[in-house]
Structure 1
Amino acid sequence: MKSVHSFWRVPLLAAVVVVCSALGACSQHAANTWQGYVEGEFVYLGSSQSGKLTQLQVARGDQVTADAPVFALESVDETAALQQAQQQLAAARAQLADIQTGKRPPEVDVTKAQLAQAIANARKATLQLTRDEAQYRVGGIPKGQLDDTRAAADAANAQVRELTHEVQVARLPGRSQQLLAQSAQVEAAQAAVAQAQWKLDQKRVNAPAKGRIYDTLYRVGEWVQAGSPVVQMLPPQNVKVRFFVPETVVGSLAPGRALTIHCDGCASAVNAKITYVSSSAEYTPPVIYSNESRAKLVFMVEAHPSADDAPRLHPGQPVSVTLQ
């Protein structure tokens, strides 16, 4: 019986050694390889204006391109406000043009006709004055009648000069102060149009970049308060990997260093670059900073894959990171 026990003892010990060696190898980290996880910096799309959700052009899981329509809110009031502002701007511009061009041609023609009539009256009054002066010299009329004729001629000539100036003034634009005031009214109306257009544009939200729609937070017909997110999306450039390295390694890391990311189910490794290295220890219990305890410190490191490789990673996914 002793020989039998001796016969089985050597293979059994060898098997235990092999299993323990395999387990030990599994528990150890490969050189420059650390465990981490994928994290996403989500973008929450909302509007600065309140309104009822009338259109939702995306669904959870959709891939969208930059500037693709995402959702729209009711915009009846904003559309009416824009039309009102545009009409007010048109009226202000028309009034400014009217001031700049002076009176209308028909109004100038009326003044010209009055001037022609005044010239004819003045010519008639001048002829009458000449005849009365001749009659007065021979004693045919009294001095009073000559004075009346001379006064009538002077009045007729004065009316000619008045109407001549009116024609000139009718052709002039408005005074400089009037022009400045109306120009300011036009600028104010333009600002009102821009403000109304901006409010109307806020009722339609497009994707700021390409990415994946992770969730929709409202349904069509629901009321959305200003600033409330309606859609949650993740652009590829917002995907990052977080992992932790010990105090003995963190000193050799810097932004820009290359690494590879490995994950379950990934056909190939994903290349990435370090973008952030924490300057303080994180997620560790209180320790005394001594030579014996420094090995317990770990530091967070963040890395971003390229935008083309980012869709292969998913937030919350565990990964392993190998430094290069």
Structure 2
Amino acid sequence: MFLTPVAKMSGTVLLPLLSLLGWLQIHQTETQKKIIFQGYIEGEFLYIAAPLAGNLTTLAVQRGTTVKQGTALFTLDPEPEATAVREAQARLHSAQARLNDLQKGQRPLEIQAILARNKQAEADLELAKLEQTRYETLFRQKVIQKEILDNARATTQRNQARLEEVTAQLQIAQLAAREDLISAAEAEVATAKANLDKQQWWLTQKQVTAPQTGQIVDTFYYEGEWVPAGSPVLSLLPPARVKVRFFVPELLRATIQMGQPVRLNCDGCAPNLIATINYLAAQAEYTPPVIYSRESRAKLVYLVEATLAPEIAVKLHPGQPVEVQFF
């Protein structure tokens, strides 16, 4: 196999170039390990507020207290919302009673009165039939005139119609209301239930609990003060929201990887604390003066953030200076 002059030249240049790149990577990694970066502890606070306004009746925690998730933090005056809940309960009870009344038909006493009239109509019809039978016998014997027999037959028909009328009234009384009225009443009950659920939810918002385990950093109101809706009453710092921030020069930015561990040192801390890099800024920040030249590239720095284990984070405080070193 014969190589052209170009191929020979490419191989001659490529090998030293690869060696140089490998040396630069090793050199940068070694340089990274030797440099100590100055950083600080940053805390992302949770500002705890209620969606409703009210007087602060109870502040159950103090600054510096460590609380667990679900711990009661503060309570606003619940009486306005409690009143609204009682009103919603009364409306639901009224709507349910109307629905039940429509589904049952008329009241029992009204039905009993119709039953009595029905029995009376049955008795009148039975008597009219007996009299008609007797008059028909007398008419055949030519004891009475035909007019008397006609009157007896008319009385029987009248009592028959009366019985049918009372029977129909009884059937109607035992039926529920029309379907459209029942549907409207059912919709009214559903609306009342939804309103009650909403009012009960608003009532629960007057008592606020810790969304996460953490430390109470500050409180902004005293008991008895008026708290506007959405205004934070206190700030909470969970361990998971404590992190280390430091800056690295452009030369070392490419050598840092997500998930890479770093060693921390600070005054009064246990030696060799470990953090894990979880953020690398995509854009550089510039230390003054900002001049776009080859000589000023050393002024380019990138923000790096690293998270801490919860048992380490609780021992550090926002603003605390730390030294960061790769290893």
| TM-score in terms of structure 1 length | 0.84
Identity within the alignment, %: 44
| 1:54 to 1:155, Cα distance in 2 relative to 1, 3 A | same
Deviation at 1:30, TM superposition (A): 5.7
Partner of 1:21: none
Partner of 1:191: 194
Secondary structure, counterpart of 2:128 in structure 1: helix
| 1:156 to 1:38, Cα distance in 2 relative to 1, 3 A | same
The question of 1:124 aligning with 2:140 is answered no
Alignment of 1:166-315 (within 5 A): 166-285=169-288, 287-315=290-318
Partner of 1:76: 79
Q: Provide the rounded CA distance (Å) in 2 between the counterparts of 1:270 and 1:107.
A: 86
The worse-fitting range, judged by mean Cα deviation, of 178-187 and 168-177 is: 168-177
2:110 to 104, 107, 111: 107
Tell whether the 8 Å contact from 2:286 to 2:300 is kept in structure 1 after alignment: no
Q: Provide the rounded CA distance (Å) in 1 between the counterparts of 2:120 and 2:35.
A: 107
Query: For structure 2, which runs of at least 5 residues remain unmatched after alignment?
Result: 1-30
Deviation at 1:310, TM superposition (A): 1.0
**Deviations 1:109-138, CA, capped at 9 Å, x for gaps:** 332222111111111111122223334444
CA RMSD of aligned residues (A): 2.2
Deviation at 1:214, TM superposition (A): 1.0
| 1:113 to 1:252, Cα distance in 2 relative to 1, 3 A | farther
**Deviations 1:257-296, CA, capped at 9 Å, x for gaps:** 2223222111233322222111111253363444433222
Deviation at 1:223, TM superposition (A): 0.9
Query: For structure 1, which runs of at least 5 residues remain unmatched after alignment?
Result: 1-27
Partner of 1:58: 61
The question of 1:40 aligning with 2:43 is answered yes
Secondary structure, counterpart of 1:314 in structure 2: coil
Secondary structure, counterpart of 1:155 in structure 2: helix
The worse-fitting range, judged by mean Cα deviation, of 190-199 and 106-115 is: 106-115
Tell whether the 8 Å contact from 1:254 to 1:276 is kept in structure 2 after alignment: no
Deviation at 1:98, TM superposition (A): 2.6
Tell whether the 8 Å contact from 1:261 to 1:322 is kept in structure 2 after alignment: yes
Q: Provide the rounded CA distance (Å) in 2 between the counterparts of 1:261 and 1:101.
A: 77
**Deviations 1:60-119, CA, capped at 9 Å, x for gaps:** 111111111111111212111101111211222222223223334443333222211111
| 1:147 to 1:279, Cα distance in 2 relative to 1, 3 A | same
The worse-fitting range, judged by mean Cα deviation, of 45-54 and 269-278 is: 269-278
Q: How many positions carry a matched residue from both structures?
A: 297
Deviation at 1:247, TM superposition (A): 1.0
Tell whether the 8 Å contact from 2:51 to 2:230 is kept in structure 1 after alignment: yes
Secondary structure, counterpart of 1:205 in structure 2: strand
